[in-house]
Structure 1
Amino acid sequence: MPDTIPDDQVVPRGRPAALLVLIVVVGLEFLAMAAVTVFLLVELLTTPAASIASAVALLVLAVVATLWLGAMLVGLRRGRAWVRSGIVVWQVLQGALAIGAFQGVFRVPAVGWALLIPALLAITLVLSKSVTAVLARRD
């Protein structure tokens, strides 16, 4: 079957630097979320909770978030188009948590910056031209 794509529309097969940085950012977010999940599990098993139901629900949400980030990381490494929306949603949620960390009685600006900077970086990278070109390919 002949190739019908003009040469000027062919996307290079190599991974652009922006995609590699995005993989690193999402990978670090995945590792951080996995660490939070393990911490919550240890806390649930070793410390008496004020509400067992709330502690279990929080743990379940942390497990789901960890699995979600893991799926996004695998999809990114494989160059799947569906990861773009999932990554944007996660970064928006992470940005909302960062804004919450900057406000209120229990504000911790260092946590806010630690959440906001990777979120902004990941959104910028996932919407960049080079990453979009790689992830938009339909194989």
Structure 2
Amino acid sequence: MSRPPALTVVALLVVLEALLLVAAAVYEVWGLVRAPEEAFDPVAAAALAAMALLFAAGLLLCARGLRDCASWARSPVVVWQVLQLAVGIPAFGAGVWWAGVAIGLPAVLTLVGLFLPSVVAATRR
């Protein structure tokens, strides 16, 4: 079975999310290197950067699985999107609606894409 275009889009969205996590980790480390005396908790910042890199690696692995139409890749991607929504939705109430949109929109698009009939059929083995 060939890969539907929607599955390619979903995989690309997951790659984008992984790249944004890498950028966040680099930003965190850059802050530690640039001005370590200003860091509130350097150990926590380093741990946050490491976690972001681990999650990015996992998302890239899942994106590869989606590209290969692997059924196992859908579940962790769904969980990640739900976690993103759990972070993004409160941003609307906190007055930073743009952050809620930036976090929530890719999650919603990915979730919708994952449950399209063509994607479900392609990843079902």
The AA in structure 2 aligned to 1:19 is L
Measure, in 1, the Cα distance between the counterparts of 2:104 and 2:98: 10
Note the C-alpha offset of 1:47: 2.1
2:62 is aligned with 1:72: yes
Equivalent residue runs for 1:115-126 within 5 Å: 115-126=103-114
Aligned position for 2:79: 89
Q: Deviations over 1:44-70 (max 9, x none)?
A: 221221112211221122112111111
Counterpart CA distance in 1 for 2:12 and 2:43 is 35
Partner SS, residue 71 of structure 2: coil
Is 2:5 the partner of 1:21?
no
Instruction: Output the CA distance in 2 between the equivalents of 1:55 and 1:33.
Output: 14
Task: Give unpaired runs (5+ residues) of structure 1.
Answer: 1-12
Letter in 2 for 1:42: W
1:65-86 Cα offsets, whole Å, 9 max, x none, are 1111111111111111111101
Maintained 8 Å contact 1:16/1:131: yes
Contact 1:37 1:66 in 2 (8 A): no
Shift of 1:111: 1.1
Check conservation: 2:24, 2:49, Cα contact below 8 A: no
**AA of the residue aligned to 2:13:** V
Give how far 1:114 is off.
1.0
Q: 1:110 aligns with which of 71, 92, 98?
A: 98
Q: Distance in 2 between matches of 1:66 and 1:44?
A: 20
TM-score in terms of structure 2 length:
0.90
Aligned to 1:8: none
* 1:30–1:70 Cα contact (<8 Å) kept: yes
- The RMSD of aligned alpha carbons is 1.3
What 5-or-longer segments of structure 2 have no aligned partner?
Answer: none
TM-score by length of 1: 0.82
CA shift digits 1:105-126 (9 cap, x unpaired): xx42111101111101111111
* Residues 11-54 of structure 1: CA deviation (Å, up to 9, x unaligned): xx221121121122112112211111111121122122111221
Tell me the distance in 1 between the aligned counterparts of 2:53 and 2:12.
20
- Equivalent position amino acid for 1:112 in 2: G
The equivalent position to 2:44 in structure 1, one of 42, 54, 66, is 54
| Number of equivalent positions | 123
Q: Which runs of 4+ in 1 moved over 3 A?
A: none
